[in-house]
Structure 1
Amino acid sequence: MAPGASTGGAIAAGPAAASGGDAAHDTVEAAVRAQLTKALGGVRGMIEAAVPTIAFTGTYVGTEDVKLAVGAGVGAAVLLLLVRLAQRSSPQFVLNSLVGIAIAAFFALRSGKAENAFLPGIMLNAGYAAAMIFSIAVRWPVVGFVIGSVTGDPTAWRSDPGIVKLCSRLTWLLVLPCAARVAVQYPIYLADGDQSGLLGPAKIAMGWPLQVAALATMVWLLARGRTPLHSPWRQALERPPSTD
């Protein structure tokens, strides 16, 4: 229920800069932008992560039929998966959405209340927000680990205070959409009666658009920065990921 686009031009520049393990970056911001693009799968990966959830939610709002909505979400995911397999590329983001839809359907079908399909998403966003805020408070911001997972060295970024500060700012930008979703959707969920008619549109409106806004702000922040790239971080970024 994730995470899932008009950031295309700015984000799309990342793969070109990061497509090879020997690509060099002159600033921290350029390196982070390139590595975030890898980790998020670019514009296509974000779209694939969002489409099945939108299909599920939109179908339910229109039909109030959980089974039909599940079929629409799964069908969209399967179609995207087939395209990925035909192109022999990674289906990671499609599979993530498929798992999210399955969990939502389980909650709704087990309880018999359609609005409970939206509860896992609310809980997940609350958990994400809490975890990311904690990571910032202890100066191990989540974005640093996202980048580290791509470079193959999960903690190299921690050696540079400038990078830690930048990753903290970027992590706050990921916290805000999660916190906003909980602040709006949870009170609706707690209201009397079946609130699925309100939760559905709220989920769609606060899903992809908020994610795009956060990512666009991240791109803007990264484009403005000119933090020098120090040697240990440069070596970690430019080292080809392990194939073991």
Structure 2
Amino acid sequence: MTSVDKPTTTTAAQHARTAADAKAVTEAALFEAFGGIRGMVETCLPGLLFVTIFTVNKDLHSSAIAAVAVSLLLVVVRLIRKDTVKHAFSGVFGVAFGVVFAMMTGNAKDFYLPGMLYTLGLALTYLVTTLFGVPLIGLMLGPVFKENLSWRTRNPGRKKAYTKASWAWGLILLAKCAILFPLYWWANTSQLGWVLIALKIPPFLLAVWLTWIFLAKAPPPIDVFAEMEAEEEAAKAAKAAETAP
């Protein structure tokens, strides 16, 4: 091996490590933002319990009570363990809206309607914000990566990745709605519930995987918090130098 080859090999190894680190950071950030496996379980369990009980006894009240109870239990477990409760609380609110809606109409299928409308609204939000050049996934993940909105003007490669990811989320959720809303009118409560449960995780995992792919290939984020800290330290140093005898 010549002396010229060694730096090339070292540089290649450094690039490989940097790419691996970027992928690991991206994976960790996505898990934090979307709740990981536990968040998915907490999202699915109340609806799964509702449709299981309703399939067995066709009783809206007992199914609703069980769904609310398990949602509250998940929050209590999070509080006891001193974990973040945002995903568990979102599950409680989602179940509560579904229960109230179903109780008001007397139609058990309406337990799922608020969640379906939320999914449709979220899909449209992903698509509209992307069309206006401010992709929602970038707004969500920017603070997680400590880059805030720097990707909009200072990091075009990451803006492109966020744009692709937001298109993916919007289209995947829109496709999910295209399946669920016809079933809301044509299928019975149990059929709709089981299809909804079946479509709960796979589209989500597909969207997360595509986001990971896009961001893993994008330039690293600009840590604006580190930049602000460096500027503050530089200002303090300059002020100290001015006041020094």
Structure 2 length normalisation: TM-score?
A: 0.74
User: Does residue 210 of structure 1 match 2:198?
Assistant: no
The aligned runs of 1:170-209 (5 Å cut-off) are 170-191=165-186, 195-209=188-202
Question: Does 2:64 align with 1:70?
Answer: yes
SS in 2 for 1:154: coil
Count matched residues. Answer: 210
What's the offset of the Cα at 1:167?
0.6
| Residue number in structure 1 paired with 2:116 | 122
Q: CA deviation at 1:132?
A: 0.6
How far 1:179 moved relative to its partner? 1.0
Indicate how the Cα distance of structure 1 residues 72 and 137 shifts in structure 2: closer, same or farther if over 3 A, else same. Answer: same
The residue type equivalent to 1:183 in the other structure is A
Asked whether 1:142 is paired with 2:167, we answer no
Aligned sequence identity (%)? 26
Structure 2 residue 156 is the aligned partner of structure 1 residue 165: no
Could you say if the C-alpha distance between residues 151 and 79 of structure 1 is closer, same or farther in structure 2, counting changes exceeding 3 Å? same
Shift of 1:128: 0.8
> Contact (CA 8 Å) 2:71, 2:88: kept in 1 or not?
yes
The correspondence of residues 1-244 of structure 1 with structure 2, limited to 5 A, is 31-151=25-145, 154-159=148-153, 160-191=155-186, 195-223=188-216, 225=217, 227-229=218-220, 233-236=221-224
Contact 1:136 1:168 in 2 (8 A): yes
Shift of 1:153: 5.7
Greater RCO (Cα-Cα under 8 Å, separation 6 or more): 1
Q: Structure 1 pair 63/214, CA: closer, same or farther in 2 (3 Å)? A: farther
Greater Cα radius of gyration, structure 1 or 2: 2
Contact kept, 8 Å, 2:116 with 2:177, in 1: the verdict is yes
User: Which residue identity is paired with 2:97?
Assistant: I
> How big is the shift at 1:204?
0.6
Query: What CA deviation, in whole Å up to 9, does each residue of 1:97-117 have, x standing for no partner?
Result: 111111111111101111222
CA contact (8 A) 1:57 1:200 kept: yes
Q: Aligned residue for 2:240?
A: none
Q: Deviations over 1:161-219 (max 9, x none)?
A: 1111101121123223321221011112233xx72132111111111222123223333
5+ residue gaps, structure 1: 1-24
Structure 2 match to 1:15: none
TM-score, with structure 1 as normaliser: 0.75
User: Which structure is higher in helix share?
Assistant: 2
How far apart are the structure 2 equivalents of 1:71 and 1:238?
48
Q: Is the 8 A contact 1:126 1:182 kept in 2?
A: yes
Are the aligned partners of 2:150 and 2:222 in contact in 1 as well (CA < 8 Å)?
A: no
What amino acid sits opposite 1:179 in the alignment? L
CA drift of 1:90 comes to: 1.5
Q: Secondary structure at the match of 1:60?
A: helix
- Deviation string 1:71-99 (CA, Å, 9 cap, x unpaired) is 22222223322221221111211111111
**Cα distance in 2 between the residues matched to 1:145 and 1:80:** 28
Partner of 2:236: none
2-structure distance, mates of 1:139, 1:33:
24
- Conservation of the 8 A alpha-carbon contact between 1:151 and 1:239: no
